[in-house]
Each structure stands twice: as C-alpha cells, then as structure tokens.
C-alpha cells in the first residue's frame, strides 16, 4: 500500500516530482475525498530545516495573491514531536514545471513579451509580499512555477523569507550558501537587515536568465559588452537592458522598491 501522510494524503506515484537534500515532493491524493485530483506534498527530509519550512508556511498563508502558490494543508507542522512523517505541507501541482526546465528556457529565449509577462507576475507577487512585510530572498528560476502549459505562474519556496524580525536561518552546518541569483548583500549569510532591493536584484537576474535563454549572469556584470549584446534586437529590448542595469547593480545604485520596477516594466509595453 502506498505511503499515507496525515491519515489522508496518499502518494499516487512512487517517483518524486522533485528531491534535494532538504525535501522531496510527491504527487498525492486525498483519500478522505475533500480535495479532488492530485496535489503536491512537500516532505521535509532534513531535520535541521523544519524551521525553514515553518517560515514558508507562515509567509504563504499570510499572502493572498494569484501569483503566490497556496497551501492546501499545513496542519502537520503544528506537531511538536519532530516526527519526520508529520513534517510536510500540501500545495497545488504546477503542471507546467518551473522556469529552469529546458523546454521553458527554449521557449523564452529572445522573447521580450514572454519575459515581460512573467516578470510582471513575479513583480506583482513580490510587491504583495513586501507590502506584508515579507522579503522572499530566494528568487530564482526553480521557484517560478507554471500553472499549466500557458504563461501563468506561481511564485514558490518562501523558505528563506525574512518575516519582520525572525531568528537567523542557520544550522549546525552554518548559513545556507548564497545562490547565483542572490543579491551581493546576502553573500555573507542571510542577514536580518536586507532591504526590499535584495529581491529587486534577484528579479533582475531572473529576467536576464529568461531573455538570454538560460544564461546565469555572473555577479553584477550586466554592463559588459557580451551581456548587453543580447538586447540589440529592438528598441524595447534595449529598454529592458537599461532597466536591468538599474536592478543588477550595487545596492547604492539599485532601484529600491518593487513598485518602481513594475512601473518600468509596464512602460516597456507589448509588441514592437
């Protein structure tokens, strides 16, 4: 018999949808019948990361936004025994995969309208988070999930989020290493005093990743000729390049708020 979580969530496929050192995600069905169809169950496999996932639950349940993935069931995290089989949360399945998938990268390469559409949805979701006092701090292609085959997305994985004044996210192994899309002010660890502009930086890198067809921009080097060259196809592409140079840059010169980013994304418009 397939494994059952919380006396209701039954794994419907033996192969995980995703797996890393901290968690694994399975397709599940609700044997109680309250929820129809399949859902995604994220099971925390790393005992030192339970607080990180509690933070994710708190962030997502605080937000109500069409581009922030919702949580169907998080009741297991109220358990204080530390039972690993009770450390899970249940979410909708993103049938379209994530932005890091090779098929998505191919479809968005050089497509300004695709990049702008996804960028605007991300900016809207992050702006709602900032308005609620939440910084995401981990914007990257793998956390941009497509609801289906179209271009509607959910922003996911708020596990590194900063919610007002929490304790630092550290473990016996030290702070999580910064990723390729993180702002430089996070390079020494996940500080408590990072401004919203840290998410502006990461969003800029994701926008470059989309338009370039999967190139991870090194550091803050967007002003270098080989990076700028991908934007030479049209006037509107050059406007995006100019915007990204104000996002992927040192904090002192960076756009500080997501509403300012949204305004400039809207100003680029659609179609040549």
Each residue's pLDDT, cut to its tens digit, for the chain (272 residues) gives 567 888 899 998 778 888 776 778 899 999 999 999 999 988 877 665 667 677 777 777 788 899 999 888 876 666 555 566 677 889 999 989 899 888 888 888 999 999 999 999 999 999 999 998 888 888 999 999 999 888 999 998 876 655 543 333 333 333 333 468 988 887 655 555 678 999 999 999 999 999 999 999 888 878 788 888 889 878 999 999 999 999 999 999 999 999 999 999 999 987 65
Helices 197-212, 258-268: axis angle to 10 degrees equals 30
Per the residue annotation, which of 49, 137, 236, 254 is the catalytic one?
137
Please give the pLDDT value at position 176: 35
Q: Are both 4-91 and 102-268 of the same fold?
A: no
Picking from 128, 131, 126, the residue whose alpha carbon sits closest to that of residue 143 is 126
CATH, domain 4-91, list 3.20.20.30, 2.40.30.70, 3.30.200.20, 3.40.50.720:
3.30.200.20
Q: Where are the beta strands (DSSP E) in 130-245?
A: 134-135, 144-146, 153-155, 162-163
105-141 core/surface letters (b: 16 or more CB in 10 A; e: else): beebbeebebbbbbbbbbbbbbbbbbeeebbbbbbbb
Q: Which top CATH class is 102-268?
A: mainly alpha
Domain ranges of the chain: 4-91, 102-268
Catalytic residue flag (residue 52) = no
Q: Which two tokens stand for residue 89?
A: 């949360």
- Determine which helix (DSSP H) or strand (DSSP E) holds 25, and give its type and residue range: strand 23-30
The structure's pTM equals: 0.85
**Beta-sheet pairing, 88-91 with 134-135:** unpaired
Q: How far apart are CA 25 and CA 33, in angstroms?
A: 21
Q: How far apart are CA 188 and CA 176, in angstroms?
A: 10
DSSP state of 253: G
Please give the pLDDT value at position 79: 59
Residue 108 CA, chain-centre distance (Å), reads 18
| CA dihedral angle for residue 262, residue 265, residue 269, residue 272, rounded to 10 degrees | -170
């Amino acid at each position: 018999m397939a494994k059952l979580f919380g006396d209701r969530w039954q794994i419907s496929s033996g192969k995980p949808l995703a797996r890393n050192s901290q968690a694994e995600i399975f397709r599940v069905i609700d044997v109680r019948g309250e929820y129809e169809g399949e859902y995604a169950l994220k099971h925390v496999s790393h005992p030192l990361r339970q607080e990180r996932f509690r933070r994710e639950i708190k962030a997502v349940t605080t937000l109500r936004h069409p581009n922030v993935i919702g949580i169907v069931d998080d009741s297991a995290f109220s358990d204080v025994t530390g039972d690993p089989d009770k450390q899970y949360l249940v979410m909708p399945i993103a049938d379209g995969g994530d932005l890091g998938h090779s098929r998505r990268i191919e479809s968005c390469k050089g497509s300004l309208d695709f990049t702008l559409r996804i960028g605007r949805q991300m900016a809207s979701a992050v702006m709602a988070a900032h308005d609620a006092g939440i910084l995401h701090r981990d914007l990257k292609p793998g956390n941009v999930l497509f609801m289906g085959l179209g271009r509607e997305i959910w922003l996911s994985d708020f596990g590194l989020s900063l919610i007002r004044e929490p304790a630092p996210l550290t473990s016996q192994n030290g702070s999580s290493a910064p990723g390729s899309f993180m702002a430089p002010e996070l390079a020494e660890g996940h500080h408590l005093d990072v401004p919203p502009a840290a998410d502006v930086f990461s969003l800029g890198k994701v926008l470059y990743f989309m338009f370039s067809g999967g190139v991870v921009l090194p550091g803050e080097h967007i002003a270098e000729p080989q990076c700028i060259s991908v934007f030479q196809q049209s006037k509107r592409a050059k406007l995006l390049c100019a915007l990204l140079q104000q996002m992927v840059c040192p904090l002192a010169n960076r756009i500080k708020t997501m509403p300012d980013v949204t305004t400039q994304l809207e100003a680029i418009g659609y179609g040549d």
